[in-house]
Amino acid sequence: MFNKLLERQIKRHLKNSEFGTQEFQDLFLAISQAYDHHEEDRQLVERSLELSSAELTETNRSLQEANKLIELKNKDLISSLQYAKLVQDSLLARESSIREIFPDSFIFNKPKDIVSGDFFWLYNTPNEAYLATVDCTGHGVPGAFMSVISYRYLNQAVRDHGIMKPSEILHYLNAEIKSTLSTKADDPESKNALDISLVRMDRRKKVLEFSGVGQKMIISSSGELQEIKGDNYHIGQNLDTSVTPISSRELEMKPDSVLYMFSDGYADQFGGPSEKRFGSDRFKQLISSLDELSFSQRKKRVESTFMEWKNGYEQVDDTLLIGVKAP
């Protein structure tokens, strides 16, 4: 018996006499079998499509549920980080406090994540002002954890132990971090480290004393830039002060001196037309361009330059830049 679709086609186009010959019978039998195979294949495809559609529907449903769960977890994470930022901000120095000591100043502080491993530290006496910028290894929660610990040790050095010389403060900080946290000088994965620039400004003698480890600062005076480099180590990681004492440097504070202290996040940011690092040379050009501006304008230029350079690229690190006019 022929395929029903084939029979209809035969009756439409052939006479009964032609249809009954053996030659046509054999041919139509072969065609009929082909029709049958085609119909079986079609039915298989339809069943497969129905199955695939069902599986796809189930997969989409599972993905939607997973996305909802991820969104919920992200909201919980962001809420936790925002609360952590409130705690961190309450423990560290506030931006307003720096203007109480240095009326002519600005701070550009842009964490990569909600909480940051970059922070500044202040200490003030009637005759001297201390200022430090600190870049803890890592960013986000690990960096924030290190920032709170390091801030505490800096306060302990001057308030509890009366250590007033910058190099000795950093010596104390290095010893406390090494004794408190697990640090291995030969372990490149060790995260318990930080870079720091610290200055003590003597208002009476008009001099400043600088000590730095892994960081540098720039002094702008009379249109000229002076770069002051710290020691090439990392506090808490590969610095052994019994072998390599922390150095210090004393410099004159001229009436128009402006100190720029910073982490490496600004210069390391990728962007621009060729997706390159901002770099130290471009950073120095930026600092030079600030001389004729008010401090509020300086902050705006620093921020706008960073955002224009970044221009949609991911921020690579926490970024901190402070400018203060020497007292």
Give 82-120 as a DSSP string.
HHHHHHHHHHSPPHHHHHHH-SSEEEEEE-SSSS-SEEE
Give residue 216's pLDDT band: very low, low, confident or very high (50, 70, 90): very high
Q: What share of the chain is helix, strand, coil (3-state, %, to 5)?
A: 50, 20, 30
Q: Give 168-174 contacts, CB < 8 A, sequence gap 24+.
A: 169/198, 169/211, 170/196, 170/198, 170/211, 170/213, 170/235, 170/246, 171/241, 171/245, 171/246, 173/235, 173/236, 174/213, 174/235, 174/236, 174/239, 174/241, 174/246
Judge whether residue 286 has pLDDT over 80. Answer: yes
Whether the pTM exceeds 0.85: the reply is no
Upper half-sphere CA count for residue 166 (Cβ side, 13 Å): 27
Structural tokens at position 213: 């480890």
Average pLDDT, the chain: 83
Task: Report the sign of the C-alpha dihedral through residues 239, 151, 217, 113, in that order.
Answer: positive
Q: Where are the alpha helices (DSSP H) in 92-232?
A: 95-101, 140-155, 166-180
Which of these, 4, 46, 53, 51, lies nearest to 28 by C-alpha position?
4
Secondary structure of residue 124 in the 3-state scheme: strand
| CB-based contact 292:97 (threshold 8 Å) | no
Angle at 163 between CA 158 and CA 167, to 5 degrees: 110
Which of these, 322, 292, 160, 157, lies nearest to 235 by C-alpha position?
157
DSSP 156: I
Judge whether residue 54 has pLDDT over 50. Answer: yes
Judge whether residue 189 has pLDDT over 50. Answer: no
Q: Once rounded to an integer, what is the mean pLDDT over residues 148-164?
A: 94
pLDDT digits (tens, 9 = 90+) for 121-149: 999 999 999 999 999 987 677 788 889 89
- Which residues are 198's β-sheet partners? 132, 211
pLDDT digits (tens, 9 = 90+) for 238-254: 778 888 899 999 999 99
pLDDT digits (tens, 9 = 90+) for 255-267: 899 999 999 999 9
Angle at 90 between CA 84 and CA 91, to 5 degrees: 95
Backbone angles phi, psi at 60, to 5 degrees: -60, -40
pLDDT digits (tens, 9 = 90+) for 83-115: 677 777 877 888 889 999 999 999 999 999 888
End-to-end CA distance of the chain: 108
